[in-house]
Chain A
Amino acid sequence: MSLQSLNRRRFLQSTALGAAATFAAPAVLRAQGQPVKVGILQPVSGAMSYSGQQGRIGATLALEEINASGIKSLGGAKIEPVFGDAQSTPEGGNAEVEKMNSAGCAAVVGGYVSSICLAASQTAARYDLPYIVDVGVADSIVTRGLKNTFRLGPGFGVLAKTAIDNLITLNDAAGKIAKTVMIIHEDSAFGSGLAKLLNTQLPEKGFQVIETIPHPTPTRDFNNVVTKIRASNPDIVIPADYYNEYVLLARTMQQQKVRPKAIYSVLGGAASSYKFVKEFPEAAQYIMDCNHWFDPKNPKALELKKKVEAKGEFFTYEVYMNYSAVLLLADALERAASADRAKIIAALESSTFSGHVMPYGPTKFVNGQNQGAAPVNTQVLGNDIQVIFPAQFASAKPVYPMPKA
Chain B
Amino acid sequence: MKSYASIAAVVALLACVPLLTASNVALNFMVVALLIALVGQGWNVLGGYGGQYSFGHAAFFGTGAYVTAILQVHYGLNAWLGLVIGIAAGALIGAITGALSFRSGLRGSYFALVTLAFAEVLRIVASVAPITGAGVGTLIKLDLRWETFQFQSRAPFYWIILAFVAASLVLVKLMEGSRFGAYLVAVRENEDAAKAVGIDVLRVKLAAMTLSAAITAAGGCFYAQYFLFLDAGIAYGPWISVEALLAPIIGGIGTVYGPLLGALVVKTLGEVTKLATGDAPGLDLVIYGCVLILVVAFAPQGIAGLLRRRA
Closest to A186 in B: B135
Q: Contacts A2-B311, A95-B28, A95-B32 known; A196 to B142 CB distance under 8 Å?
A: no
State whether the Cβ of A18 lies closer than 8 Å to any Cβ in chain B.
yes
Stretch at the interface among B10-18, B108-116, B211-219: B10-18
Q: How far is the CA of A6 from the CA of B6 in the complex (A)?
A: 12
CA distance A1 to B139 in the complex (A): 45
> B23 near A: Cβ within 8 Å?
yes
Query: Which residues of chain A (171-203) have a CB below 8 Å from chain B?
Result: 185-193, 195-196
Chain B residues in 8 Å Cβ range of A214: 127-128, 135
Q: Is B228 interfacial (CB-CB < 8 Å)?
A: yes
Give chain B's interface secondary structure class: helix
Beyond A3-B257, A19-B21, 16 additional pairs, beta carbon < 8 A: A3-B6, A3-B304, A4-B10, A14-B264, A15-B17, A18-B20, A21-B26, A22-B21, A94-B227, A98-B24, A102-B23, A118-B229, A126-B144, A187-B128, A190-B135, A196-B134
Q: Does A28 lie at the interface of the complex (its beta carbon under 8 Å from any beta carbon of B)?
A: no
Interface residues of A in 274-302 (CB under 8 A from B): none
Could you say which residues of chain B place their CB within 8 Å of the CB of A14?
17, 26, 29-30, 264, 268
Contact string against B for A residues 213-243, beta-carbon threshold 8 Å, 1 for contact and 0 otherwise = 0101000000000000000000000000000
Q: Are A44 and B281 in contact (CB under 8 A)?
A: yes
Q: Which range holds the interface residue count of chain A?
A: 35 or more
Chain A interfacial positions (CB closer than 8 Å to B): 1-4, 6-8, 10-11, 13-15, 17-19, 21-22, 25, 44-46, 49, 52-53, 83, 85, 87, 89-91, 94-95, 98-99, 101-102, 115, 118-119, 122, 125-126, 138, 140, 144, 146, 185-193, 195-196, 214, 216
CB atoms of A187 and B281 under 8 A apart: no
Residues of A within 8 A of B228 (CB): 119, 122
Flag whether B25 is at the interface (Cβ < 8 A): yes
Docked complex Cα distance between A18 and B30 (Å) = 10
A-B contact pairs, 20 of them (CB 8 A): A14-B17, A18-B21, A21-B26, A85-B281, A95-B32, A98-B28, A102-B23, A102-B25, A118-B229, A125-B142, A126-B144, A126-B152, A187-B127, A188-B231, A189-B135, A189-B137, A189-B231, A190-B135, A192-B135, A195-B135
Residue with the greatest number of chain A CB neighbours at <10 A, chosen from B10, B136, B274, B285: B136
* Of the residues A8, A13, A185, contact of B268 by C-beta under 8 Å: A13
A233 to B141, CA, bound (A): 42
- Cβ contact within 8 Å between A192 and B136: yes
- Contact of A144 with B26 at beta-carbon distance under 8 Å, contacts A45-B285, A122-B228, A187-B232 already known: no
Give, as a whole number of angstroms, the nearest-CB distance from B18 to chain A: 9
A195 neighbours in B (Cβ, 8 Å): 135
Within 8 A of A (CB), among B109-155: 127-128, 134-137, 139, 141-142, 144, 152
